[in-house]
Every structure is written in C-alpha cells, then in structure tokens.
Structure 1
Amino acid sequence: MPDDTSKTDSDRKLISLKEDYEVRDWANSLGCTPEQLRAAVEAVGHSADRVREHLSAKRAKRAVR
C-alpha cells in the first residue's frame, strides 16, 4: 500500500509485489493468499480493480462447481 503518503491515490489503484508487506496487505485486503494475488497480477496486470474482478470471477466459478 502507500509508501509515499503524497501518492496514496495512485498506490491504491496499483498493486505492487515488490515488498513483502505490500503483498501481505493487498492479500488481506482482497481476501486471498499471496500466491493467488501474484497469479492474479500476472494474469491481469497491476490494476487493483482488474485484480479484484479477476479474483471475484474465480471465486464465482468455484462456487458454481
């Protein structure tokens, strides 16, 4: 999440996987594991909105099974 408090808006829109604490915080926020977060970022990019949608779609698919 934000490293530079003057850039909090952009930090909330993009997911960075560079720092362990950022991965942990994003995974907690999105309700997934760090591995699932990394896979989602690899699949759809660093946009928090796109990652959120991707994870939701995967959960919906699992619920249907």
Structure 2
Amino acid sequence: MTETPRGRAQGRKRVAGGQDHEVRYEAKKEGVAKDAVKKSVKKVGNSRTKVEADLEKKI
C-alpha cells in the first residue's frame, strides 16, 4: 500500500460508498449511474474488484 504525504496508508482497493468523489469516479469509469455503484457496494461490500465485477454483470 502506498502512503499519503501525512504517512497514512492509502486504500485504493476499496470503494467508500459514502464518499461522493469515489462513487462518481467508479460510476464514470464503469459507465453506470452513481446509484448503481452505491447499490453494488451495499450488495457485495466495498472491495473494488467485487464492485466492478458486480457492475459488469449488470451491463
């Protein structure tokens, strides 16, 4: 894991469903609505690979 300038670990393997910027990024990347990303996070958890796999099934 990489570190931020403050020395904190940076978790790029997670999608924080409550963080609007992360939801927007994932929605744009996958070409789906923000609501679809939020529902997917609720359904499969916040693992980025699981969320992306779930969104691929919906397309």
State TM-score, norm by structure 2: 0.72
**What are structure 1's unaligned runs of at least 5 residues?**
60-65
State TM-score, norm by structure 1: 0.67
Structure with more helix by fraction = 1
Q: Hey, what's the Cα distance between the residues in 1 that align with 2:34 and 2:9?
A: 24
Deviation at 1:18, TM superposition (A): 2.4
**What are structure 2's unaligned runs of at least 5 residues?**
none
**Greater relative contact order structure (CA < 8 Å, 6+ sep):** 2
Residue type matched to 2:51 in 1?
Answer: V
Identity %: 26
Q: Hey, what's the Cα distance between the residues in 2 that align with 1:46 and 1:52?
A: 10
CA RMSD after TM alignment: 1.8
Q: Number of aligned pairs?
A: 54
* Partner residue in 2 for 1:31: 31
* Partner residue in 2 for 1:53: 53
Q: Hey, what's the Cα distance between the residues in 2 that align with 1:7 and 1:31?
A: 28
